[in-house]
Amino acid sequence: MGDLPVIDYTLSFPYTRTTGPVMGPFLTALRDGQILGGRCGDRVLCPPLEYDPDTGAEVAPDLVPVGPGGTVTGSTWVSTPTEKHPFAEPFAFATIALDGADTPLIHAVKAPGPVEAGTRVMAQFRDERVGAITDVYFVPEADAVEQTIAPGDEPVEITEHLIGVRIQEDLYPFRKRYAQALLDGKILGQRSPKSGKVYVPSRGYDNMERVPMTEADDVFLPDIGTVVSFTEITPIQYHGQTETDPYIRCAILLDGADQPVTGIDIRDLRPPEFKVGLRLRCVWRPPAERDVSELDNRMGAIPEGVYERWEPTGEPDVNPDELRGQAW
Amino acid sequence: MSALPCAVIGTGQTKYKRRRELTLDGLVREAALRALDDAGLEFTDIDAVVIGKAPDALEGVMMPELSLCDALGAVGKPIHRVHTAGSVGASTAITATTLVESGMYDTVLTVGYEKQSEGNATWALSGGKSGGQGAGGTFAPWIREYIARSKAPEHIGWLVAVKDRQNALLNPYAHLHIEDISIEKVRESPMLWDPLHFLESCPSSDGAAAMVLTNEAGVKRTGKTPAWVLAHAKRTEFSMFPGRDTTRPQAGVECAEALYKKAGITNPREQIDCAELYVPFSWYEPMWLEGHLLAEEGEGWKLTDAGDTALDGSFPVNMSGGVLSSNPIGASGMIRCLEAADQVRGACGEHQVEGAKLALGHAYGGAAQYFAMWIASAELNPEL
């Protein structure tokens, strides 16, 4: 039998960015081993900006080399870097007034210990450069080495960024009991102590009557119900999509429930056999194979990891007119 | 204390196709500058900025209201960001309106945008997981329920898809310009979420829409043709609860009731000249005609079928081509409000409804659970 999971998943996508007339040349120059600032009135801004931060006026791109040396104006020491940080070992984040620039650049300084304001630092370029702010980092001037950088080919006009967030949380109390029940081959709902309505899966409270529900309100529901709505989906391809063939997603009103469970996956039935009013029963996976890791605190579904399929019970269909207002 | 009058005096839109040559900042600014130009104003004339967009996951830019300050001339000014999923563009316009109505600010710039080419909406709306239903897969079962309930024939969806794309041919900003659009073409396009074909669904668009809102003094000072915001309403309901009617959400009915009451409208179909309704999937035209009390229950599709919602019909809907022709999500609701305003300003060019004096702008969002609507009027005190 599977264990109850702690929710842990990473949501990430390879977003693209149009770099535009100012950031594009800035990133192209970084790839080619140079830092550029942008003239804006009588100042040089680094990084350069598309629009004057004081007036909102458009800044005609006028990019000039700055650095590679600069002076630290402030810093903080990162003693325990995360995997997202530019260095695995402790380092400093610093505001660096690059030579020739009037605004400080925030960047990483690779140093043996905390970096004082006033420290002279020098840009160093990484071997692998892609046209990103992480192509460069800084070191105390004495540690700098001479570098020969071969420029790249095309200007950096579109960049790609795998941006993600890792979500870790405990299932909240009702969801834990719901997940355990699924592992046991049972469906757990809750009956509102105020309205008597049965919610499945419950949120642990009745959102209509605004009352909490406790373990005393738990009710087991039969794993049999009626199709109240569905659609047949032809999958669109996107990042992480593994589906290629059409499939049905439906909502099933379990016997005794007052709202349907949604997103139920149907692979072996098709219209016209599959229809609103059809009576279905859950065919569970063997206990050792049941998996609730897809469950989170929000989804209103029964995770696919616990059932093999839903099969017709053979009972007469329910008249769809009796199911009006249950579609989800 | 009652609200002070508020009017739209400038509108700006970008072309809603993929804009790979522009930064997100440049895209938003393009619409803002066009709206300011239309109003004869500059950033320095603006007292506050209100922006709206759909979920951050669509482009992966967190708190964009901060990074967009420079491009919107908003440094040193109040900037607000509104978020109500797909209805956000209309909610944003309404939020900006209330800032003028309250007397807090004289002139407010509001902008809605999305740059869908930098992310993927179906991925984001599927929670980043394989096998997601996306928006189409969520709404399709409810559309099937509407069809079963109303006994509407299947060609109604195709009619809407063709009509809106024909209107789009008259709107230079529209994303889709499908010259040879036809019933056959719609019917034969791939079935994505039964009963929705590919051509019955909205495109993924880039774009921004902006409006300049001001008070009575601002209208006088600029001398620009105003669209008065006669009334607005927002309503919300839970995505799921026992007995929820997903095909005719109660919040949508109540939003319309509140809107018409505020505007003094007793017979919306007769008194309103035209409407921009949020129709991302073809069947939502008849569903919102009914769900917002513009037609009796079960009768909405008959208006579509009879051609009443065509540009030359008795109650034109989505004269601009609608969401079916352009869907920069966070801007889509604002475009509905903007087009309603431009109709009563007589500024819609080839898709102008002759003599439009009162127009409805509408958006919905989430699991059809957020609603935002406004009435734009040529007159501050119209005779209804």
State the Cα–Cα distance between residues B212 and B47, nearest whole angstrom.
Answer: 11
Q: Provide the β-strand partners of residue A162.
A: A14
Domain contains A42: yes
CA dihedral A163→B333→B243→B253, nearest 10 degrees, is: 170
Surface of A (221-280) touching B: CB under 8 A: 229-236, 238-243, 247, 249-251, 258-259, 262-263, 265, 271, 276
- Counting as low any pLDDT under 50, the low residues of chain B are none
Look at residue B1 in the predicted model and tell me its pLDDT: 54
Considering only CA atoms, which of B182, B159, B158, B178 is closest in space to residue B170? B178
Look at residue B91 in the predicted model and tell me its pLDDT: 98
How far B254 CA sits from the closest chain A CA (Å)? Answer: 17
Number of domains in chain A: 2
A176 and A152 fall within a common domain: no
Domain contains A77: yes
Taking residues A247-259, what's their average pLDDT?
Answer: 96
Q: Is the pLDDT of residue A71 over 90?
A: yes
Instruction: Label residue A235 by pLDDT band (50, 70, 90).
Output: confident
- Kind and range of the H or E run holding A173: helix A173-183
A318 and A182 fall within a common domain: yes
Surface of A (47-66) touching B: CB under 8 A: 49-56
A251 and A150 fall within a common domain: no
Give every CB contact of residue A57 below 8 A, 6+ residues apart in sequence.
A51
Q: Do A240 and B128 touch (CB under 8 A)?
A: yes
A176 and A319 fall within a common domain: yes
Compute the count of residue pairs across chains A and B with CB atoms less than 8 Å apart: 155
Structural domains for chain B: 7-120+204-222 (3.40.47.10)
Domain contains A272: yes
Q: Do B193 and A55 touch (CB under 8 A)?
A: no
Percentage of chain A beyond pLDDT 90 is 80
A189 and A289 fall within a common domain: yes
Decide which of A99, A131, A156 is a domain's last residue.
A156
Domain contains A55: yes
Domain contains A232: yes
State the Cα–Cα distance between residues A260 and B141, nearest whole angstrom.
Answer: 13
The two three-digit tokens of residue A51, written as one number:
């629009």
Taking residues A19-40, what's their average pLDDT?
Answer: 97
Q: Find which of A19, A51, A191 to mutate to test the B interface (most B CBs within 10 Å of its CB).
A: A51
Tokens 């898709």 -> residue: B351
Whether residue A227 contacts residue A251, with contact meaning beta carbons closer than 8 Å, is answered with yes
* Beta-strand relationship, A91-98 and A69-78: antiparallel
Taking residues A218-235, what's their average pLDDT?
Answer: 95
How many CB atoms within 10 Å of residue A60?
Answer: 10
State the Cα–Cα distance between residues B368 and B84, nearest whole angstrom.
Answer: 11
Report chain B residues whose CB lies below 8 A from the CB of A250: 141
A194 and A152 fall within a common domain: no
The better pLDDT of the pair A301, B177 is held by B177
Q: Do B142 and A229 touch (CB under 8 A)?
A: yes
A110 and A138 fall within a common domain: yes
Q: Is the pLDDT of residue A3 over 70?
A: no
Look at residue A7 in the predicted model and tell me its pLDDT: 81
Domain contains A85: yes
Whether residue B50 contacts residue B43, with contact meaning beta carbons closer than 8 Å, is answered with no
Considering only CA atoms, which of A19, A33, A17 is closest in space to residue A65? A33
Scanning every residue of chain B, which has its alpha carbon at the shortest distance from the alpha carbon of A322?
Answer: B149
The two three-digit tokens of residue A201, written as one number:
């899966």
Domain contains A209: yes
A117 and A212 fall within a common domain: no
The two three-digit tokens of residue B307, written as one number:
């051609």
**What confidence tens digit (pLDDT) does each residue in A153-211 have?**
999 999 999 988 888 889 989 999 999 999 999 999 999 999 999 999 999 999 999 99
Decide which of A127, A156, A185 is a domain's last residue.
A156
Which alpha helices (H) appear in chain B, and where do they start and end?
Answer: 24-39, 64-67, 88-101, 121-125, 134-150, 155-168, 183-188, 216-222, 250-263, 268-271, 284-291, 300-305, 322-325, 329-345
Whether residue B28 contacts residue B251, with contact meaning beta carbons closer than 8 Å, is answered with no
State the Cα–Cα distance between residues B236 and A207, nearest whole angstrom.
Answer: 14
A186 and A309 fall within a common domain: yes
For residue B104, the one-letter residue type is M
Range of the domain at A34: 20-156
The two three-digit tokens of residue B376, written as one number:
């734009």
Decide which of A105, A128, A156 is a domain's last residue.
A156
Look at residue A1 in the predicted model and tell me its pLDDT: 44
A137 and A210 fall within a common domain: no
Look at residue B128 in the predicted model and tell me its pLDDT: 75
Look up the ipTM and state it.
0.91
Q: Find which of B20, B194, B245 to mutate to test the A interface (most A CBs within 10 Å of its CB).
A: B194
Whether residue B249 contacts residue B334, with contact meaning beta carbons closer than 8 Å, is answered with no
Query: What are the φ/ψ torsions at residue B267 (nearest 5 degrees)?
Result: -135, 85
Look at residue A183 in the predicted model and tell me its pLDDT: 96
How far B356 CA sits from the closest chain A CA (Å)? Answer: 36
Look at residue A239 in the predicted model and tell me its pLDDT: 85
For residue B315, the one-letter residue type is F
Domain contains A166: no
A16 touches B at CB < 8 Å: yes
Q: Hey, is B359 helix, strand or coil?
A: strand
Look at residue A301 in the predicted model and tell me its pLDDT: 81
State the Cα–Cα distance between residues B229 and B106, nearest whole angstrom.
Answer: 15
Task: Please compute Rg for chain A using Cα positions.
Answer: 29
A78 and A177 fall within a common domain: no
Q: Do A327 and B246 touch (CB under 8 A)?
A: yes
Task: Please compute Rg for chain B using Cα positions.
Answer: 19
Q: Is the pLDDT of residue A232 over 50?
A: yes
| Averaged confidence pLDDT in chain B | 96
Report chain A residues whose CB lies below 8 A from the CB of B30: none
The better pLDDT of the pair A240, A30 is held by A30
Look at residue B165 in the predicted model and tell me its pLDDT: 98
A28 and A102 fall within a common domain: yes
